[in-house]
Amino acid sequence: MKKIVLLFTCLFLTASLSVSLLFAGGKQEVSEPAVVEEVPMTHEELVAAAQAEGKVVVYSVTSRIANAAKAFSEKYGIEVEATNLKDFELVEKISKEGSTGAAGADFVLCQDGGRVMGELLNLEYLYNYVPPTMKDQIPAEFQSPLAFAFINKVFIFNDELSEAYPITNIWALTTKEWKGNFQFKNPFQEGVNANFLTMVTKPEVADRIAKAYKDYFGKEIELTTPNAGYEWIRRILENDLVLTTSDTKTAESIGVKGQGKEHNAGLFVFSKLRYKDTKNLALAPIMEMEPFSGFYYPIYALMCSNASHPNAAKLFIEFLLTEEGFSPWSSDLGTYSSNPSIPLQPDDYPMTTWVKILVEEDPAYCFEHRAEVEEFLNEYIY
């Protein structure tokens, strides 16, 4: 079996998040994110200190940070230097800056919990900060580390020919009718996708996948791999899974009208449903899929230990957790603030719906097992 470069190098330090509590109203030692002693400030004092610094630098995995930065600058008169990076680029950049002491970001919006917590928080290149004004608004289980938002990726199909779901069981994707007709962004190009494939191998999830197999085929699964999760991965890959380079390209490929295909679906971010109107695409989510309809994961807001403008960073984090600051994301469906008071788009689904039908990212499990899953994937992808 070919070896791949491991994406994790350090100890992991957190347990799985549990979003259901928020939106309803292992093998190694883990530790809490580092706590930095803060000098107590009122909001007015923080604003004055931030304005005295005059600038803030942020690295972000979401491009909408540019719109939030503009609104923040207009509100407080503070210059924002915002850089949009892929998840692995952000981890590597902060690792380099943190290990060398080079000036760079003041705070980050980051994803891929295993790497972020194992390589950045645990080495204290990043630290956790919760704005005092938000401690009573953000549920406690999302304050350590601070979750800024949650993203979901869902099985989505082309509904031009019919609004009826073309499949209701993930094992249908392994049949000849779906050969070459299912798309997913290459997991070696985005950490959260690799995390999802790791999560399907988690025993509790794999047991559900085994039950779905029996429900679909009417017989017990015969394994050629460690468990039903691995088996499903193997079979979709061998069924000519189309690996794409971006969720945008996946959505455009799936949703273009006039294809005349009954079997045509992908697993990508739910927010791309906005393309139904903006790009005239035929897209609809599969909300009744056994044993799950996709997955979800957090984006964290974390301070950089070598921040040159720490007060401006703290003020910007506070701003992002308000309805005003979150508006670049809440203006569309598919991104869910950790602040439950921020309203959704009228045609979106609440997280109470999603947590029941999606696989939750467990960073601890991903940290411990992703390397072996990637080695397994490497046999089929490269």
pLDDT tens digits for range 256-284: 999 989 899 999 999 999 999 999 999 99
232 and 312 part of one domain: no
- Would you call 155 helix, strand, or coil by DSSP? strand
Q: Which two tokens stand for residue 263?
A: 């079997």
> Does 290 fall in a domain?
yes
**Residue 318, domain member (yes or no):** yes
Count of domains for the chain? 2
Identify whether residues 261 and 249 lie together within a single domain: yes
Together in a domain, 76 and 197: no
Least confident of 13-27, 69-83, 108-122: 13-27
pTM, entire model: 0.86
Cβ partners under 8 Å of residue 333, min gap 6: 270, 271, 273, 274, 344, 345, 347, 348
Q: Are residues 169 and 276 in the same domain?
A: yes
Please indicate, yes or no, whether residues 208 and 223 belong to a single structural domain of this protein.
Answer: yes
Query: pLDDT tens-digit profile of 320-371?
Result: 999 999 999 999 999 999 999 999 999 999 988 999 999 999 988 998 999 9
> Which value, in Å, is the radius of gyration of the alpha carbons in the chain?
21
Query: For residue 332, what are the domain limits?
Result: 19-150+296-355
- Evaluate whether 151 touches 332 at the Cβ level (below 8 Å): no
* CA distances to 167, 186, 187, 190, 195 from 374, in Å: 27, 11, 9, 12, 10
Within 124-242, where are the H helices? 191-199, 203-217, 228-238
pLDDT at position 38 is 67
Is the same domain home to 68 and 134? yes
